[in-house]
Amino acid sequence: MNKSIQRVLCAALAFLLCISGASAQVSTPSSVCRDAGLIFAFFNGVQTTKAQAEVAKQEFKHLHGDQSASGDRISYEVMYNYSNGFEDFVETFEQRLLEQEGLLEGRFELFFEALKGDGPWWSRIIDSVASAAGILKGFVDWYEAAAVRSLTALLGNPPTSVNYAEHRSRIQNWVIEGKKILIVAHSQGNLFANAAYNFALSQTTADSVKLVHIAPASPALNGRHTLADLDLVINGLRAVGSVASITDFIPGYLLRPAGVNGQKDALGHGLLEIYINQGLVISSRVKSHIEAAMAALVAPPVQATSGFFTATLTWDGSGDVDLHAYEPDGSHVYYAEMTGNSGYLDVDNVVANGPEHYYASCDAATLQPGTYQVKLANYNAADGRTATVQIASWNDGVLGTKSVTLGEATGDIPAHPLFNVVVTKNAQTGKFSVAIGQ
Amino acid sequence: MIRKLLIASLVTAVPGCGGGGGSGGSNTETPKTPKEQVSALETSGFIPQLDRGTSLTGSDANSNGVRDDIETFIAKTYSTEPRRAAALQTAKALQHALVVTLTDATAVKAVDRQISHGINCIYKQFADNSPHPARVTQELESVTTNTKERLLAYLQFNKALDGTSSALPQGDTCE
């Protein structure tokens, strides 16, 4: 039997597995996963740490819940972007701490509060030593200009989806698993979100992916937006180029209620302090945009099953690249043997780009603890292509993404070992967990 | 203004911070310098009192992965054991961020996941918003990065996460 015929039969089998797998996942009592129908993908703003982006994700969950109005369970994800030059801000902050005869010398714990221009610790210091307010104001004034410079530089050299392989692969995985995708972006995250949105449109239709812009640093919009009149960062960008129109007026700094973190943000640009601050009317616009976008989303066709963990393969052009999974009991799962003892290859591609998709079962009776080896083969005509494999768990999202340049064709022999995925079962609780091993 | 007066009176009430000479019951007070006033805030617990050594890891006498000064800060700042445990879990994960090998993408993501689980636990244990879990998280992030070396190391960790994604975990992630 040649590979094409074999693959047609396997594809039919995979389709049946996909349908039965999907239904088993939600109805089997022994399921160890909870599937989501809607992805809330948050792209963070300028000078945001990953932990702060995690907090934003938690706050969005608090505001929008576990389930959409149409009954889809929501999975919240952060698509993180770092602001280049963030570390340079530390040098300037250090200089400010040395002012007034070293009044605050070495107190770098005040840094993150200072980025918002206020905070409980700064307030206590200023209450005791009023002149410390001058140190904070000097830093905030400098920071305002520096943030605008940082965003202007980014606008001059905007990110493309090519720079963000993990984001791209993640979106591709959501599409083939039939997820509705809501992208919500704040500040500089809008530039990354626009690139991600355009990539998503190459994989699915505009019915299945929506974008909501918050304080967009980009003049290009792909959805509804919210922008405060006293957002000094975006106003600074307006001075050097075009930005989106103002949608809302917010109270001046002294009249604003603080956000959940106890801060008001002197620059009027913060997500928690301004745009999702439930004490400000502007937050209702953001919320209504998100809820309207959720309601309008239509699920793309399901091509693959969400598993306990998944391995998704893509590559950058024509050729036939194969995903191989070796399960703990030695079962070899690939195009010629799509059903293993714990998982399945449910998407196969023999032409170009991928994806190929393996998933491990959510059924506790089927899922084997142990090491799953994930490897690649250039089956044919993919020499020199860059292939990317992403491992993701149902609970934590992406565990790892690796790319490799393929060598010459090796047929069914996988020459590129990429991941050891370790599934463990707690003997006392029976709870399964998964991690990338050595 | 009321807060200012309250803090000033509390600071002066703390033994050793009030400026009184102590001997002979003198009422004469030597005015504090601004720097001494800030130190008094630290001593009295209005702002955190932290180790400012040059090492990334600081002192960890009980080897639980959390700097001793941060452990003291947590014990003083947050009430109830489950809350302190959530704060310690997150502080330990944030401490890992300073020392993880940044060229090891898998290890960096594993630390990121520990932080995510810690924050998720904080949101569970501080669900009454008193203090708000967003504030708790920021306090822990700030005390972990209280020196230039620690802050720069932490920002490098964040830089290593550029372009990654992560999901909000389901269920109880408290350890």
Kindly determine whether residue A61 and residue B168, on different chains, have CB atoms separated by under 8 Å. Answer: yes
The mean pLDDT of chain B is: 87
Residue-number span of the structural domain to which A310 is assigned? 3-34+306-437
Distance in Å, alpha carbon of B21 to nearest chain A alpha carbon: 21
Are the CB atoms for A386 and A394 separated by under 8 Å?
Answer: no
Are the CB atoms for A165 and A388 separated by under 8 Å?
Answer: yes
Using pLDDT thresholds of 50, 70 and 90, give the confidence band for residue B29.
low
Of all residues in chain B, the one with the smallest CA distance to A165 is B163
pLDDT digits over A180-222, tens only?
Answer: 999 999 999 999 999 999 999 999 999 999 999 999 998 899 9
pLDDT digits over A88-123, tens only?
Answer: 999 999 999 999 999 999 999 999 999 999 999 999
Residues of A in contact with B41 (CB under 8 A): 124-125, 128
Query: Does residue B37 belong to the interface with chain A, where contact is any CB pair within 8 Å?
Result: yes
Burial of A325 (0-12, 13-18, 19+ CB in 10 A): buried
Residues of A in contact with B109 (CB under 8 A): 398-400, 436
d(C-alpha A174, C-alpha A35), whole Å: 12
Using pLDDT thresholds of 50, 70 and 90, give the confidence band for residue A7.
low
Distance in Å, alpha carbon of B148 to nearest chain A alpha carbon: 6
Are the CB atoms for A188 and A153 separated by under 8 Å?
Answer: no
Kindly determine whether residue B163 and residue A167, on different chains, have CB atoms separated by under 8 Å. Answer: yes
Least trusted range by pLDDT, from A17-26, A64-73, A346-355: A17-26
Q: Are A310 and A190 members of one domain?
A: no
Q: How many helices (H) and strands (E) does chain B have?
A: 7, 1
Using pLDDT thresholds of 50, 70 and 90, give the confidence band for residue A295.
very high
Question: Residue A65 pLDDT > 90, yes or no?
Answer: yes
pLDDT at position A40 is 98
In angstroms, what CA-CA distances link A242 with A81, A226, A237, B65, B142? 23, 15, 7, 49, 35
Question: Residue A11 pLDDT > 90, yes or no?
Answer: no
Rounded to 5°, angle at Cα A83 from A77 and A85: 160
Are the CB atoms for A200 and A171 separated by under 8 Å?
Answer: yes
Q: Are A196 and A270 members of one domain?
A: yes
Kindly determine whether residue A109 and residue B50, on different chains, have CB atoms separated by under 8 Å. Answer: yes
Kindly determine whether residue B142 and residue A262, on different chains, have CB atoms separated by under 8 Å. Answer: no
Q: Are A134 and A257 members of one domain?
A: yes
Beta-bridged to residue A386, according to DSSP, are A405
Kindly determine whether residue A396 and residue B167, on different chains, have CB atoms separated by under 8 Å. Answer: yes
Look at residues A393, A301, A303, A299 and name the one whose alpha carbon lies nearest to residue A21.
Answer: A303
The mean pLDDT of chain A is: 92
pLDDT at position B7 is 42
Least trusted range by pLDDT, from A73-82, A168-177, B6-15: B6-15
Are the CB atoms for B161 and A80 separated by under 8 Å?
Answer: yes
Q: Are A48 and A172 members of one domain?
A: yes
Question: Per the structure, how many domains does chain A have?
Answer: 2
Question: Residue A23 pLDDT > 70, yes or no?
Answer: no
Query: Does residue B34 belong to the interface with chain A, where contact is any CB pair within 8 Å?
Result: yes
pLDDT digits over B36-93, tens only?
Answer: 999 999 999 999 999 999 999 999 999 999 999 999 999 999 999 999 999 999 999 9
Q: Are A13 and A104 members of one domain?
A: no
Q: Are A247 and A267 members of one domain?
A: yes
Q: Are A293 and A311 members of one domain?
A: no
Distance in Å, alpha carbon of A190 to nearest chain B alpha carbon: 14
* Helix (H) or strand (E) segment spanning residue A84: none
Q: Give just the sign of the alpha carbon dihedral A427, A430, A431, A434.
A: positive
Average pLDDT over every residue of A394-400: 95
Kindly determine whether residue B168 and residue A101, on different chains, have CB atoms separated by under 8 Å. Answer: no
Other C-beta atoms within 10 Å of B101: how many? Answer: 11
Q: What is the pTM of this model?
A: 0.91
Last residue of a domain, one of A268, A303, A338: A303
Kindly determine whether residue B106 and residue A400, on different chains, have CB atoms separated by under 8 Å. Answer: yes
Distance in Å, alpha carbon of B23 to nearest chain A alpha carbon: 26
Q: Are A316 and A274 members of one domain?
A: no
Using pLDDT thresholds of 50, 70 and 90, give the confidence band for residue A158.
confident
Kindly determine whether residue A106 and residue B147, on different chains, have CB atoms separated by under 8 Å. Answer: yes
Of all residues in chain A, the one with the smallest CA distance to B124 is A58
Question: Residue B10 pLDDT > 60, yes or no?
Answer: no
pLDDT at position A72 is 97
Q: Please give the biggest Cα pair distance in chain B.
A: 65
Last residue of a domain, one of A287, A303, A319: A303
pLDDT at position A17 is 45
Residues of B in contact with A170 (CB under 8 A): 165
Distance in Å, alpha carbon of A5 to nearest chain B alpha carbon: 38
pLDDT at position A240 is 84
Q: Are A201 and A349 members of one domain?
A: no
pLDDT at position A5 is 52
Least trusted range by pLDDT, from A21-30, B59-68, B111-120: A21-30
Residues of A in contact with B162 (CB under 8 A): 80-82
Q: Are A293 and A223 members of one domain?
A: yes
Q: Are A203 and A299 members of one domain?
A: yes
Of all residues in chain A, the one with the smallest CA distance to B134 is A261
Question: Residue A404 pLDDT > 90, yes or no?
Answer: yes
Q: Are A120 and A13 members of one domain?
A: no
Question: Residue A422 pLDDT > 80, yes or no?
Answer: yes
- Among all chains, which residue has been given the structure tokens 């605050």? A104
Distance in Å, alpha carbon of B77 to nearest chain A alpha carbon: 13
Of all residues in chain A, the one with the smallest CA distance to B171 is A395
Kindly determine whether residue B11 and residue A397, on different chains, have CB atoms separated by under 8 Å. Answer: no
pLDDT digits over B102-111, tens only?
Answer: 999 999 999 9
Last residue of a domain, one of A286, A303, A320: A303
53-92 of B, contacting A, C-beta below 8 A: none
Kindly determine whether residue A103 and residue B38, on different chains, have CB atoms separated by under 8 Å. Answer: yes
pLDDT at position B15 is 38
Using pLDDT thresholds of 50, 70 and 90, give the confidence band for residue A125.
very high
ipTM of this predicted structure: 0.93
pLDDT at position B31 is 65
Average pLDDT over every residue of B147-159: 98
Query: Does residue B32 belong to the interface with chain A, where contact is any CB pair within 8 Å?
Result: no
Least trusted range by pLDDT, from A307-311, A396-400, B12-16: B12-16
Using pLDDT thresholds of 50, 70 and 90, give the confidence band for residue B22.
very low
Question: Residue B8 pLDDT > 90, yes or no?
Answer: no
Q: Which of B166, B170, B174, B175 to mutate to test the interface with A (most CBs of A within 10 A)?
A: B166
Sheet of strand A332-333: strand arrangement? A332-333, A320-326, A370-380, A416-425, A432-437
Using pLDDT thresholds of 50, 70 and 90, give the confidence band for residue B14.
very low
pLDDT at position A165 is 87
Question: Residue A266 pLDDT > 60, yes or no?
Answer: yes
